[in-house]
Amino acid sequence: MKKGTKVIYNDKTFQIFHVYESGYCELKEISTYVNVILVHEKELVLS
Protein backbone atom coordinates (compact mmCIF):
# COMPACT_ATOMS: atom_id res chain seq x y z
CA MET A 1 0.00 0.00 0.00
CA LYS A 2 1.18 3.52 -0.66
CA LYS A 3 0.11 7.06 0.15
CA GLY A 4 -2.85 8.27 -1.90
CA THR A 5 -4.31 4.81 -2.57
CA LYS A 6 -8.09 4.60 -2.22
CA VAL A 7 -9.27 1.76 0.02
CA ILE A 8 -12.46 0.49 1.61
CA TYR A 9 -12.73 0.00 5.38
CA ASN A 10 -16.01 -0.64 7.23
CA ASP A 11 -18.00 -0.04 4.00
CA LYS A 12 -16.58 3.49 3.62
CA THR A 13 -14.05 4.82 1.11
CA PHE A 14 -10.82 6.22 2.50
CA GLN A 15 -7.54 7.51 1.13
CA ILE A 16 -4.24 6.41 2.66
CA PHE A 17 -2.64 9.43 4.32
CA HIS A 18 0.50 7.78 5.75
CA VAL A 19 2.00 4.26 5.79
CA TYR A 20 4.15 3.02 8.70
CA GLU A 21 6.84 0.33 8.42
CA SER A 22 4.84 -1.76 10.91
CA GLY A 23 2.08 -2.22 8.32
CA TYR A 24 -0.34 0.31 9.82
CA CYS A 25 -1.89 3.05 7.70
CA GLU A 26 -3.44 6.38 8.60
CA LEU A 27 -6.68 6.80 6.65
CA LYS A 28 -8.73 9.89 5.83
CA GLU A 29 -12.36 9.46 4.81
CA ILE A 30 -12.88 10.66 1.23
CA SER A 31 -16.18 12.44 1.87
CA THR A 32 -15.15 14.44 4.96
CA TYR A 33 -11.34 14.61 5.31
CA VAL A 34 -11.92 15.37 9.02
CA ASN A 35 -11.13 12.18 10.90
CA VAL A 36 -7.90 10.23 10.60
CA ILE A 37 -7.94 6.60 11.73
CA LEU A 38 -5.15 4.06 12.19
CA VAL A 39 -5.74 0.62 10.64
CA HIS A 40 -3.51 -2.34 9.78
CA GLU A 41 -3.21 -2.90 6.03
CA LYS A 42 -4.54 -6.48 6.39
CA GLU A 43 -7.96 -4.99 7.23
CA LEU A 44 -8.16 -2.91 4.03
CA VAL A 45 -9.69 -3.67 0.62
CA LEU A 46 -8.51 -1.82 -2.50
CA SER A 47 -11.29 0.12 -4.19
Number of domains within the chain: 1
Rounded to whole angstroms, the Cα distance separating 4 from 20 reads: 14
Q: Are 4 and 16 in contact (CB under 8 A)?
A: yes
Which of 22, 13, 15, 19 shows the shortest CA–CA distance to 1?
19
Domain-located, residue 12: yes
First-to-last alpha carbon distance for the chain, in angstroms, is 12
Show the domain range for 29: 6-46
**For position 31, what pLDDT does the model report?**
82
Tens of pLDDT along 8-42? 999 999 999 999 999 999 999 988 868 899 999 99
Domain-located, residue 1: no
pTM (predicted TM-score):
0.84
Domain-located, residue 16: yes
